[in-house]
Structure 1
Amino acid sequence: MSFPWANEYKPSHPFMKWMDEKLPLPRLVYNSVGSGYPVPRNLNYFWNFGILALVCLTLQIVTGIVMAMHYAANAQVAFDTVEHTMRDVNWGWLMRYAHANGASAFFVVIYIHIFRGFFYGSYKAPREMVWLLGVVIFLLMMATAFMGYVLPWGQMSFWGAKVITGLFSAIPLVGEPIQQWLLGGFAPDNAALNRFFSLHYLLPFVIVGVVILHIWALHIPGSSNPTGVEVKSESDTIPFYPYYIAKDGWAVGAFAFLFCAVLFFFPNALGHPDNYIPANPMSTPAHIVPEWYFWPFYAILRAFTQDFFFIPAKLMGVLAMFGSILVWFFLPWLDKSPVRSGTYRPMFKKFFWFGLIPAMAVLFYCGGAPAEEPFVMLSQIASLYYFAHFLIILPIVSAIEKPLPLPYSITESVLGKDEAAQLAPAQTATA
């Protein structure tokens, strides 16, 4: 984002001048997270979840590298190497629990980040590319998390891999060859473990690359804000450093406190007890369930129980499960409202808080429940509303609703209708 009032990087030390000429890395940092990056002054705490996602990604990469040093991708010893890391490696238990619970923390942060985007219209122009890259990151996260869940090679790891990869067999003609290619055979075994371990180690670095593109795309139009009103003057912005660095620092501290509370007091609360039993292909668990962050999409998958003419129910479930995320790619074009923020869209707000949020809550609950009534019926109702919200309700609401009046500027939304305050420089407004 380039504004005429943005502070320019002017190194004074000879070494920094030489560095700026040869490799302008300090200039890049200054313009990205320093005083050279003006940010809307009215960002609330929902905008802190971007930096929290970056913290979680860093945590997962660091702990994952340490875990990989002691892991063997072999069906005969994989479970034992994880137990060895927990029991015999110095601080191995901390690395394992931090990595396992870090995945859950990552998804909590990302779900809040995504639904903040839903409500405040972060997918609208000119930030479509920011949104699209964010959805790509989410898909990569899901693939990485699934493969990581297989690696401990407990009962739920093995049967989860068998069930999820078995979904590809629903694809006509090419489904079974794809499934065998993914597993390296007809069932999860050494070949599958090697494939999943390699990809689980590689994909986080791919995510880092897409995150860089995501941040780069964000810096072109600049950050959105709760009003959805674009920056008009210098008084609408404040420098990222020190104001939002301090605010993000507070959020990171609060996150660290909550994460450590779970890590040290409830490390197994989000895991499944069957995964502490070694994988046994001859003993099927009574209730096969993925990790909690997959539950809404698992519920959509299981919502299809009857064939539709020549289309098998399993195939429809697979298509709906993938379609439930792919529909996010089209949000910038499905929502035609000229107003971005849901704060000023009364009809949209009602459908969001009393429609989409309860539907997602039901899907989360039913995805972890047994595949029996009434959970199947509730999954079907919630799935129907989920797709209707994005494909039917959102386009219609955006066309017919009458938005509330928007503030003239970001400054007005913060300080009220004060012409003098609108024209004042940012230093005076933040004094």
Structure 2
Amino acid sequence: MSFPWAKEYTPAHPFMKWMDERLPIPRLVYNAVGGGYEVPRNLNYFWNFGFLAGLCLVIQIVTGIVMAMHYAANSAVAFDTIEMTVRDVNWGWLMRYAHANGASAFFVVIYVHIFRGFYFGSYKAPREMVWLLGVVIFLLMMATAFMGYVLPWGQMSFWGAKVITGLFSAIPLVGEPLQQWLLGGFAPDNAALNRFFSLHYLLPFVILGVVILHIWALHIPGSSNPTGVEVKSESDTVPFYPYYVAKDGWAIGVFAILYCAFVFFAPNYFGHPDNYIPANPMSTPAHIVPEWYFWPFYAILRAFTQNFFFIPAKLMGVLAMFGAILVWFFLPWLDKSPIRSASYRPVYKAFFVVLCLDMLVLFYCGGAEAKEPYVMISQIAAMYYFAHFLIILPIVSAIEKPKPLPYSITEAVLGKDDAARLEPSA
């Protein structure tokens, strides 16, 4: 966001002047992440997770490119090429474990980033487009992660592909042809592996493109902040560099410690034991389960066990699973409260805590076996999940009486300042 008090880029070195006149990349960087980009002064550490998400994406692209150099998308040798990369390629083990654990790290960061948006109302005007592009990024991540999970061609990879693509067969009329088109046949095999590998390699670059749009859309209204109050004067902001660059640097240090702890000391912690067994179409695992970051949506899928009139339970489960994410697209219009931050919305804040607990229940049930009492608990948790967004949120936003907001960001940080009230608004 361009404020009147933001510093202008003025190159001093002759080469930088020449470059700025012909290809203003330095100016672009300065205005995007340098001293020319002003941000609210009260951002807390939850705002570091956007930067960490970008770092995770870079890690996944770099390690994925290296892994692709040694991978063969052939059902006869795919499992062996992964093992060969780990055992025989110089630093191959590091690339493999950094990529596998990087996916989990990416989703941890993104889930925190999304729920920060829920709490602080980051989806509200004028940042609707920032939010919508963020949901698109999450959907692309889910697709990329699923296809990546198939590539090792272990038992869970094969049967996960068979189960998940089998969901498309629930769609009336076009379901089975669509499933066969996705797999390139009637069951996961060479054709499916080649298709999934191609898309898994391509989609991260698509994600990168949408991330650029996401950042571009963010820079138009500027960053949101914990109070939800818009910037009113120069005292409300500080330059992104050096203040938040240093803060992001500290967050990167903490992230790197945790990330490296898993990569070096527990590299297989998030992996399923059955996926270290070569795929066998003749042997079905006792408990087919996707990666942990799919568990809440997998629990919603399995929550539908009975047909509803003429609608098969399988179809309702598929619609609910996708609807659980698609409902996020409508949040800017479902939540009609003029107050953004839940810190000033006590009723919504209480329901937000319940939503977080509900998600934890869905996470647990998604990883548990499909039997009682987990199925019943999943049904209750799934009902509350949709009720929160479609019923509770609109009603609460209409009837809730929020707490008084501070006059400005400066007042929220430093207390009341009568001089600040006299400054002209931007």
Q: Normalising to structure 1: TM-score of the pair?
A: 0.97
What amino acid is aligned across from residue 246 of structure 1 in structure 2? A
Secondary structure of the equivalent of 2:243?
A: helix
- What is the Cα deviation at residue 418 of structure 1? 2.1
Report if aligned partners of 1:43, 1:226 keep a CA contact under 8 Å in 2: yes
Mapped to 2, the partners of 1:15 and 1:256 lie a distance apart of 36
- What is the Cα deviation at residue 424 of structure 1? 8.8
- What is the Cα deviation at residue 74 of structure 1? 0.1
Mapped to 2, the partners of 1:297 and 1:252 lie a distance apart of 29
- What is the Cα deviation at residue 420 of structure 1? 3.8
1:182 equivalent to 2:177? Answer no
Find the counterpart in structure 2 of residue 388 from structure 1: 387
Find the counterpart in structure 2 of residue 34 from structure 1: 34
Secondary structure of the equivalent of 1:42?
A: coil
- What is the Cα deviation at residue 12 of structure 1? 1.8
Report if aligned partners of 2:147, 2:200 keep a CA contact under 8 Å in 1: yes
Find the counterpart in structure 1 of residue 134 from structure 2: 134
Find the counterpart in structure 2 of residue 160 from structure 1: 160
What amino acid is aligned across from residue 361 of structure 2 in structure 1? V
Task: In structure 2, list runs of 5 or more residues that go unmatched.
Answer: none
| 1:386-425 aligned within 5 A | 386-420=385-419
Find the counterpart in structure 2 of residue 205 from structure 1: 205
- What is the Cα deviation at residue 273 of structure 1? 0.4
Report if aligned partners of 1:235, 1:424 keep a CA contact under 8 Å in 2: no
1:23 equivalent to 2:41? Answer no
What amino acid is aligned across from residue 175 of structure 2 in structure 1? G
Report if aligned partners of 1:297, 1:367 keep a CA contact under 8 Å in 2: yes
What amino acid is aligned across from residue 2 of structure 1 in structure 2? S
Mapped to 1, the partners of 2:218 and 2:72 lie a distance apart of 40
| 1:359-374 aligned within 5 A | 359-374=358-373
Q: Deviations over 1:267-298 (max 9, x none)?
A: 11111000000000000000000000000000
Report if aligned partners of 1:154, 1:274 keep a CA contact under 8 Å in 2: yes
Mapped to 1, the partners of 2:214 and 2:127 lie a distance apart of 10
Mapped to 2, the partners of 1:76 and 1:419 lie a distance apart of 74
| 1:345-356 aligned within 5 A | 345-353=345-353, 355-356=354-355
Mapped to 2, the partners of 1:294 and 1:359 lie a distance apart of 15
- What is the Cα deviation at residue 422 of structure 1? 6.3
Q: Deviations over 1:91-121 (max 9, x none)?
A: 1111000000000000000000000000000
Q: What is the RMSD of the two structures over their aligned residues, measured on CA atoms?
A: 1.0
- What is the Cα deviation at residue 18 of structure 1? 1.2
Secondary structure of the equivalent of 1:204?
A: helix
Mapped to 1, the partners of 2:271 and 2:182 lie a distance apart of 25
Find the counterpart in structure 2 of residue 428 from structure 1: none
Aligned length: 424
Secondary structure of the equivalent of 1:226?
A: coil
Report if aligned partners of 1:344, 1:406 keep a CA contact under 8 Å in 2: yes
Task: In structure 1, list runs of 5 or more residues that go unmatched.
Answer: 426-431
What amino acid is aligned across from residue 369 of structure 2 in structure 1? P
Mapped to 1, the partners of 2:186 and 2:4 lie a distance apart of 62
Find the counterpart in structure 2 of residue 375 from structure 1: 374
Q: Percent identity?
A: 86
Report if aligned partners of 2:74, 2:193 keep a CA contact under 8 Å in 1: yes
Q: Normalising to structure 2: TM-score of the pair?
A: 0.99
Mapped to 2, the partners of 1:68 and 1:19 lie a distance apart of 36
Find the counterpart in structure 2 of residue 267 from structure 1: 267
Report if aligned partners of 2:233, 2:423 keep a CA contact under 8 Å in 1: no
Mapped to 2, the partners of 1:421 and 1:242 lie a distance apart of 24
Mapped to 2, the partners of 1:424 and 1:415 lie a distance apart of 16
